[in-house]
Structure 1
Amino acid sequence: MAKNNQTVLTLTLLITASLIGIFAVLGWIGYSLTRSKSESKSPGNTDLVNTTTNSGSLKQVEITTARNVDSSQLQKYLQNKDWQQSDRETYLRMLDVAGTKAQAEGAISKDEMNALSCVDLKTIDKLWSTASDDKLGFSAQEKILREQKNDYRKMYDAVGWQTLTGEWLIKWNYNQQTKRYEYKPGKEPNFKTFPPGHLPTVERGYNFGVSLDVALTRCGI
């Protein structure tokens, strides 16, 4: 009889230990799932650009050019998510795309803008789009402009370049020595937290005599 009682006690202990183990595993799984959902729903600015693009996809973007423009450095900056250097590199390469007059003066003239290479424009835009999950680049800016019914004031406000009252949030100075435009100290773009379409700022706000958007429309961007 005592032997039977001992057997029952042993089995009871084994079952209890098994149940405790099962409940422990289930509890750990529940905690993991809850934590995962909590992290995925962490608060943040949904208007800010997602910078988690797979860098491998950017390497696969084919760089084509009709003006012998080297966009490989831009590709590297964007791959590293160096938005400030990418913005500057875009400005410099756009001068190369435009031609000798733009290279000499630091701004694209109307005649050069009208003849701007669509091949090179699309290459630059594709690099920006791929690096930012379609939230930055010329295509993103044109999409926002269309959403704002071609109202430039509203579009500039949406992308963070200008307020609705006309105050420029981004300003430039012209360097007579380098013949290049540079951001005015304290009036640079926000290279860390910015809304879609914020970058690049090429030909915006300092070159009022020409329209980059006309060239982008002509090129189907």
Structure 2
Amino acid sequence: MPDLSTNSPSVPSDVIELQEKFTTSTAKNQLQMLPQLLDAGLPGIEILMAWLQQQRGSKPTTVTGAVYQALYQSELPPARDYLERELPTGMIALQSSRGIDYTNLQKLLAQQKFEAADKLTTEKLCELAGVDAVKRKWIYFTEVEQLPAIDLHTIDALWSFHSEGKFGFSIQREMWVGMGKNWDKLWVKLGWKNGNNWTRYPGSFTWDLTAPRGHLPLSNQLRGVRVMSSLLSHPAWEEVGS
């Protein structure tokens, strides 16, 4: 990994200048500069790899998520080699209190395969709820409170990290609380309802980052408000603000 704190002859001066701005800018400006670094080719990729390496061990942010995604989607071999060598399971700790494996969920989200990730999220929630939930393929609202906070945080962090902070349970809860826990307003804001008409699954949902904030995951939306209410009221979210 090159030391980009000095003027390496392999890196054009304008790219070095961009790197210096990137490391000292606000998150908003860093996101705006990301396309410029990608357009710079391999020197830009090297800058992003070096920057991401420096962020390891720090709390993941919207910018680290965007940089990770940019490297993951890059067609340049050094980017993919770096991620496979240094971050084989991504930047989110895949913690589970019940031995649930979230590796495939991380991969689907990294690949931006949001519809498949949404289905797998439901499967993981069923695994957490128990054998009966796995058999029926959905969870009762009464089972939600027993879901471990550690696992909910892992699932939520994966969704948020790989969506530039746009998707996840905590985002949905923040919106719900901000609307005075008014479900009718929330459904419309999430893009789950248009007037009196519920969004039809799966074709009418938006499975990419053009979706409304909080649009995903669906969280058993088709099963009604009680599951959603239990999920957004889970004690896990008290730890990240009310």
Same fold by TM-score greater than 0.5:
yes
**Aligned residue in 2 for 1:35:** none
Matches within 5 A, 1:168-183: 168-171=198-201, 183=202
Partner of 1:137: 168
Cα distance in 2 for partners of 1:63, 1:52 equals 19
Distance 2:139 2:214 in 1: 21
SS at match of 2:193: coil
Q: CA deviation at 1:131?
A: 0.8
Runs of 4+ deviating beyond 6 Å: none
Could you list the per-position Cα deviations for residues 48-78 of structure 1 after superposition, in whole angstroms to 9, with x for gaps in the alignment? xx99452368811101111221111000011
Alignment of 1:176-195 (within 5 A): 183=202, 186-187=203-204, 189-192=205-208, 193-195=210-212
2:139 alignment counterpart? 108
CA distance in 2 between counterparts of 1:133 and 1:200 reads: 14
Structure 1 unaligned residues grouped into runs of 5+: 1-39, 41-49, 172-182
Matched residue, 1:87: 118
Segments of structure 2 that go 5 or more residues without pairing to the other structure are 1-31, 33-62, 70-82
Q: Which amino acid aligns with 1:69?
A: I
| Alignment partners' CA distance in 1, 2:232 and 2:219 | 12
Larger Rg: 1
Identify the structure with the greater helix proportion.
2
- How many residue pairs get matched? 159
Q: Tell me what 2:185 maps to.
A: 154
User: With structure 1 as the length reference, what TM-score do the two structures score?
Assistant: 0.64
Contact persistence 1:98–1:117 (CA under 8 A): no
Counterpart of 1:54 in structure 2: which amino acid?
Y
